[in-house]
A and B are shown apart, each in its own frame.
Chain A
Amino acid sequence: MGKKTIIPFGPQHPVLPEPVHVDLVVEDEKVIEAIPQIGFIHRGLEKLVQKKDFMQFVAVTERICGICAFGHSMGYSETIEILMGLEIPKRAQYLRVIWHELSRIHSHLLWLGLLADGFGYENLFMQCWRLRENVLGIFEKTTGGRVIFSACNVGGVTQDIEDGDLKGIVAILDGMRSEYEELLKTFLYDSSVKNRLSGIGYLSKQDAESLCLAGPFARASGLVEDCRLDGYGGYGDLAAFEPVLSEDGDGHARCEVRAREVYQSMDIIAEMVSKIPDTPISLPVKGMPGAGTAAVHHVEQPRGESFYYAKGNGTKFLSRFRIRTPTSHNIGGMTKILQGCDLADVALNILTIDPCISCTER
């Protein structure tokens, strides 16, 4: 038995796009405990509800994170709509689902690229990000923005997509499928990828359940957790929806779940485009969130369940708005998979949970 040593990991580390600090308690080359610390980019965005009215605050929620930007504005808008008892037009619901699923594709391709970079497969990283450009191009064409595109608002969406452009989106995604198939084969069956990911960071279904994990991290351990199953908004009109699951629970399973979810998102978009009704895209929002009213809502972001809570006070300013993001739940799982792993696997293990610290700290 070696001597216990504490090795600080982060907040700046080549594998981390955002700052998180972990104190690794190691014995020889084995990690026996990992203690996380955050707070390096806390911006106090929740407190801004006291300065920005409930309509203006959509712009703030979009800026919580550069990857889940649309999802947060959608989650916030839907929470306010529940709070005020608004039911938005069907076309707006469908457009939200289309942009949200495009965000999921772009997030997963970004993460797959980062993962490839993490285990030293630079060419695979480049190909993933090249494919991701197609999705960013769709955002730019339909909204004018590539990351933060202000398409969502309380009461609906701010811009429509012509039916011809919607078919064009499906055509672009169909065109991506053959190229993505090649990347998928590499991620799932290439021996160098499997050697680096299989068996590392194993988490059982029981642990995933007791740690209340969210998103692909939970689904890779066989846990059926997906807010899209609620069927809220446009998701309720899908013919069928089954979460992508894996029973393996290791790093490779987390890679597989996210990789397959890209196809699932493409299918959802195609179905939404084929069914989209011709209705207005928003409704006028009148009045204020009532005094003493409160609403909760959750949305399946690319990293898992994001929870939203809003409390009205009869004025145009909310008295409280709260977001709990998937990574703040998955930090517990991260510490669990780090226990007992090799020091050399720490970086990759952290990467496989796809941490988003901007979201977590808000």
Chain B
Amino acid sequence: MTPQVFIDITRLELRKHAERYQAEGWRFVNLCGSLLNLDEESDKGVVEMLYTFARGREMENLRFDVQPGEVLESISDLYFNALVNENEAHDLFGIEIKGIVIDFGGAFYTLSVPTPMNPQSNIAIRAAEQKTYGTADYGACPVPTSSEEEA
């Protein structure tokens, strides 16, 4: 059976763990965001993150909460394939992640509904203040540039 190992960490420890996993030959499996406390007014916008890594038959899951306004560090420089999940977490959950290798800036998912789908996220709140939430022009997506080119 798949090992059920869940390790609770803090947001700031993510990089350290990811670097260790990479050095020890683990592969990145998944990144998942879950909205917490959907019905409780006080904690709205808190997202539980789950990062999964595997090596052979071992599998470990890092779990931590992201409060509204907190910014995550990308691990896509360590695990390139994480960029798909990180852009997805940004677009759908409104998680701000800095340093994504290819940052689409919200244009990875071309949806016909307002994104991010977490209206309590910082990105959505800022967009609502600027009255741009849900008014994206889906006709022409900007061509993203890699962070290397920007550097």
**Chain A residues in the interface with B (C-beta under 8 A):** 6, 23, 33, 35, 37-40, 42, 44, 47, 82, 209-213, 229-230, 232, 294-298, 305, 307, 309, 311, 319-320, 322, 324, 328-329, 331-333
A328 touches B2 (CB 8 A): no
Within 8 Å CB of B81, what residues of A? 211-213, 328-329, 331-333
Within 8 Å CB of A210, what residues of B? 80
Within 8 Å CB of A209, what residues of B? 27
B4 touches A23 (CB 8 A): no
Q: Which residue of B lies closest to A330 (CB)?
A: B81
Bound-state Cα–Cα, A212 to B54, Å: 10
Interface residues of B in 63-95 (CB under 8 A from A): 79-81, 83-85, 91
Q: Is B151 at the interface (CB under 8 A from chain A)?
A: no
**Residues A320 and B34 in contact in the complex (CB < 8 Å), given A296-B61, A298-B2, A332-B80:** yes
Within 8 Å CB of A38, what residues of B? 108-110
B61 touches A311 (CB 8 A): no
List 22 interface pairs A-B (beta carbons < 8 Å), by A numbering: A6-B143, A35-B143, A37-B108, A39-B91, A44-B117, A47-B117, A82-B4, A211-B80, A212-B28, A212-B29, A212-B79, A212-B81, A296-B2, A296-B52, A296-B59, A298-B54, A298-B59, A307-B30, A309-B61, A320-B32, A324-B29, A329-B81
B80 touches A295 (CB 8 A): no
Which 8 residue pairs are nearest across A and B when measured between Cβ atoms? Answer: A39-B109, A332-B81, A212-B27, A39-B110, A320-B34, A324-B30, A322-B32, A307-B30
Q: With both chains docked as a complex, state the minimum distance between the C-beta of A273 and any C-beta of chain B, in angstroms.
A: 24
**Residues A37 and B107 in contact in the complex (CB < 8 Å), given A211-B80, A212-B28, A296-B61:** yes
Within 8 Å CB of B111, what residues of A? 39, 42
Within 8 Å CB of A211, what residues of B? 80-81
Partner of B144, one of A35, A82, A295, A297: A35
Q: Which residue of B lies closest to A8 (CB)?
A: B143
Q: Is B146 at the interface (CB under 8 A from chain A)?
A: yes
Q: Which residue of A lies closest to B25 (CB)?
A: A209
Q: With both chains docked as a complex, state the minimum distance between the C-beta of B35 and any C-beta of chain A, in angstroms.
A: 8
Bound-state Cα–Cα, A210 to B28, Å: 9
**Chain B residues in the interface with A (C-beta under 8 A):** 1-2, 4, 6, 27-30, 32, 34, 50, 52, 54, 57, 59, 61, 79-81, 83-85, 91, 102, 104, 107-111, 117, 141, 143-144, 146
Q: With both chains docked as a complex, state the minimum distance between the C-beta of B107 and any C-beta of chain A, in angstroms.
A: 7
B102 touches A35 (CB 8 A): yes
Q: Which residue of A lies closest to B101 (CB)?
A: A332
Q: Which residue of B lies closest to A333 (CB)?
A: B81
Within 8 Å CB of A322, what residues of B? 30, 32, 34, 50
Within 8 Å CB of B146, what residues of A? 33, 35
Q: Which residue of A lies closest to B29 (CB)?
A: A307
Partner of B2, one of A6, A37, A82, A319: A82
Bound-state Cα–Cα, A37 to B143, Å: 10
**Residues A37 and B104 in contact in the complex (CB < 8 Å), given A42-B111, A328-B84:** yes
In the complex, the number of residue pairs spanning A and B with C-beta atoms less than 8 Å apart equals 90
With a 10 A CB-CB cut-off, give which of B1, B104, B141 has the most chain A CB atoms. Answer: B1
Known: A37-B110, A309-B32. 10 other contacts (CB 8 A): A35-B146, A37-B104, A37-B107, A38-B110, A39-B109, A213-B81, A230-B57, A232-B1, A297-B2, A328-B81
A294 touches B1 (CB 8 A): no
Within 8 Å CB of A296, what residues of B? 2, 4, 52, 59, 61
Q: Which residue of A lies closest to B110 (CB)?
A: A39
Q: With both chains docked as a complex, state the minimum distance between the C-beta of B29 and any C-beta of chain A, in angstroms.
A: 5
Q: Which residue of B lies closest to A328 (CB)?
A: B84
**Residues A328 and B32 in contact in the complex (CB < 8 Å), given A37-B107, A211-B80:** no
A40 touches B27 (CB 8 A): no
Within 8 Å CB of A331, what residues of B? 81, 84
Within 8 Å CB of B59, what residues of A? 296, 298
A229 touches B108 (CB 8 A): no
Q: With both chains docked as a complex, state the minimum distance between the C-beta of B138 and any C-beta of chain A, in angstroms.
A: 10
Bound-state Cα–Cα, A313 to B144, Å: 39
Bound-state Cα–Cα, A213 to B81, Å: 8
B141 touches A309 (CB 8 A): no
Bound-state Cα–Cα, A297 to B59, Å: 9
Q: With both chains docked as a complex, state the minimum distance between the C-beta of A212 and any C-beta of chain B, in angstroms.
A: 4
**Residues A324 and B85 in contact in the complex (CB < 8 Å), given A35-B144, A307-B30:** yes
Q: Which residue of A lies closest to B5 (CB)?
A: A296
Q: With both chains docked as a complex, state the minimum distance between the C-beta of B74 and any C-beta of chain A, in angstroms.
A: 14
Q: Which residue of A lies closest to B35 (CB)?
A: A320
Q: Which residue of A lies closest to B81 (CB)?
A: A332
